[in-house]
Every structure is written in structure tokens, then in C-alpha cells.
Chains A and B, each alone.
Chain A
Amino acid sequence: MRGSRFFPLVSATLLACGEPIRGVVMDDPEPAPALTLTAFDGTRFALENEKGKLVLLYFGYTHCPDVCPTTMGDWARAKRALGERAERVRFVFVSMDPDRDTPELALGYARQFDAAFLGLSGTTEEIEALKKAWSIAAYPEGDPRSRDYTVAHPAHTFVVDRQGRLRVLFPPGVRGEELAADLRKLL
């Protein structure tokens, strides 16, 4: 029966921690799609190699003036609140704007929020394939001929659990301390 497998786990979490997680929790989490990109420093990031860790993913763009930096700021506060336990969490920003975001820009962008954050970009083909695999959308808005176009992109932080399953979608606006409290329940 769908949903029944993790029901005992979810209710135990509720009992232990008092309040539910502030995001969309998958009842029956499925293995996350593949995500493999090469970072600017030459290291290859492959989601499948991160099992045992919690992976937070945000699909944004570095020219984003409002939502992306707000989310990254909350991630940074969550990481600080987690202290040593943050060693078991990967924070990964993935650009949905490969035309402007080089791997160098993406990495520099992520690191300005926390030195341990990873920022990835890729070729247009790599990002298009990733969008398809993850069933997500992202597209330029405004005048596409202007270099100042903005990008509509997924709102949520995607959380892949320690077994590699897409587990929670956190909406924007979940503050750092709240996010840390919820991540503790997933660690």
C-alpha cells in the first residue's frame, strides 16, 4: 500500500519532536534522479555518491536578487545552528541559468554564503537534461535579449535523504533555525 511503509516513521517523528516538518514530506519517497556535474575546482559531484548524507538542493541562478539569496542565507543560518551535525549535510546550489552562470560563478556564489556550500553549473545541454530528469522547470522572464533577464525557477529546497531518496520539499521562507530543527529530524 502506498504511503504505509513510512507511516510509522513519520508518526514517530511527530511524537518525538512535537511539530511536523515545515515542508512537503513525501509519504513514499522514491530514489532521487541522478545529478552529476563538475564543479569549478574540477571535483565531480554525483548525488549517488552522497548516500549517508542529507543533501539540500536549490535550483536557482546567481543573478537572482531576492529569493535565492534569501534561501541561501537561511541555509547558512541552518548550517551554523546544526553545528557539528552539519558535517552530515551537503548544501548544493545548482544554476538554472547556464548561459550566464559559469561553474566558477556558481561556486563563488554559493561560497559567499558559507565556505562549505557547493555551487554547480554546466552546459546548457547538461542543465536541460537535469531539468527533465528532475521534472522541474526554469525559464527566462522579461526581455530575453537583455542581459538582465530574470529566471523563473523552482521555489522549493529539495532534500534528498541519507538513503538517496527525494524526501522533503521546503518552501521558501522557512527560516534558518526552523530549517535546522527540521533537518535534525531527518539526520
Chain B
Amino acid sequence: MRNWQRIFGSCCSALVVACGARQDAAPPGSVITVRDAWARSADSGAMTAVYFTLANTGEISDTLAAVASPDAELTEMHISTQHGGMMHMSPVTSLPVPAVDSVMFRPLGAHVMLTRVRKPLAVGDSVSLHLTFVSGQAVEVRAGVRQP
């Protein structure tokens, strides 16, 4: 441990950890973590959406390039948009996650859309997602089911 860390003591350790990527421990590429994942409840065979926050604590931008789930017949990245007083939903093939930044998948915005879910999704259940990034990183996500 460096001297200045010892001097500041434990009260600063959280800060040091948070800033680690900017200090000497800079990772070689992007470092993706997923938090606050949840899925909307759905009947078996229905469509539903999964939401989460992607954080890239690394110093290189990355791009979410593929989504997959064993819990639905079809898994796609989607974005809801509003124009001309209408709501639309469109598939997107990739989504950038800038360096030292985060991207929220949330209602009325981006979501992972599950089409024809293979089982009923009720509160207390969960779904699995497999996210693949251009960097080659893969992240497994478990999203708990919530009431709409």
C-alpha cells in the first residue's frame, strides 16, 4: 500500500477503490458491470422487457453487441421512441457504453425485449441474460421479476 493511502487511513479506502481505475490500477480495456437488473412480470408465451444499468469503469469505450436469454424464444435490444405523438419501438443491433460512464436500460427507453417467454414470470422469479460486448467481454445477468 502506498504511503499516502496509509496516511489517510481507512476512511478514504472507499474513495480509493472507486477511483482505482483512474489511479495506477487502470485496466487494459473496458470493465463492464451490471446493476439494478429487473424484468417485468409476464404470462408464459408473452413479451416482456428487462432493464438494468451498464457501467463501464474501464478507460476504453465498449459496445453491447449481442443479447441472449435461455428464458425466451427471441431476445433483442430495443428502444422506445416518441415522435409525432406516437410511441414506436425499434430493434437496435448495438449500443455503445462509453468509458467511465454508464448506460441505463429503463422504461420508455432502451430495454432487452424477451419475446415468447418460456415460462410464466411472476414476482420472485428471475430471468437470465447473456450480454456480449465488442471487446469480447461477456456478462451474465440475473434479473428479478417485478410487478409492472
B86 on the interface (CB 8 Å rule)?
A: yes
Chain B binder among A10-18, A153-161, A178-186: A153-161
Chain A binder among B5-13, B14-22, B40-48, B125-133: B40-48
B74 on the interface (CB 8 Å rule)?
A: yes
Given A65-B40, A65-B49, A113-B148, A155 and B87 contact (CB-CB distance below 8 Å): yes
The answer to whether B116 and A153 have CB atoms under 8 Å apart is no
Chain B residues with CB under 8 A of A154: 85-87
A133 on the interface (CB 8 Å rule)?
A: no
The binding surface of chain B is classed by DSSP as strand
Tell me how far the C-beta of A126 lies from the nearest C-beta in chain B, rounded to whole angstroms. 21
Chain A binder among B26-34, B56-64, B105-113: B105-113
Indicate with 1 or 0, residue by residue over A133-173, a CB within 8 angstroms of chain B CB atoms: 00001000110000010101111100000000000000111
| Assembled-state Cα–Cα distance A6/B111 (Å) | 41
The answer to whether B113 and A152 have CB atoms under 8 Å apart is no
> Which residues of A does B touch, CB under 8 Å?
63-67, 69-70, 72-73, 112-113, 137, 141-142, 148, 150, 152-156, 171-173
20 A–B pairs (Cβ distance < 8 Å), ordered by A: A65-B48, A65-B111, A65-B114, A66-B78, A66-B107, A66-B111, A66-B113, A73-B148, A112-B148, A113-B148, A141-B89, A141-B90, A148-B47, A152-B86, A152-B87, A152-B88, A154-B86, A155-B82, A171-B82, A172-B108
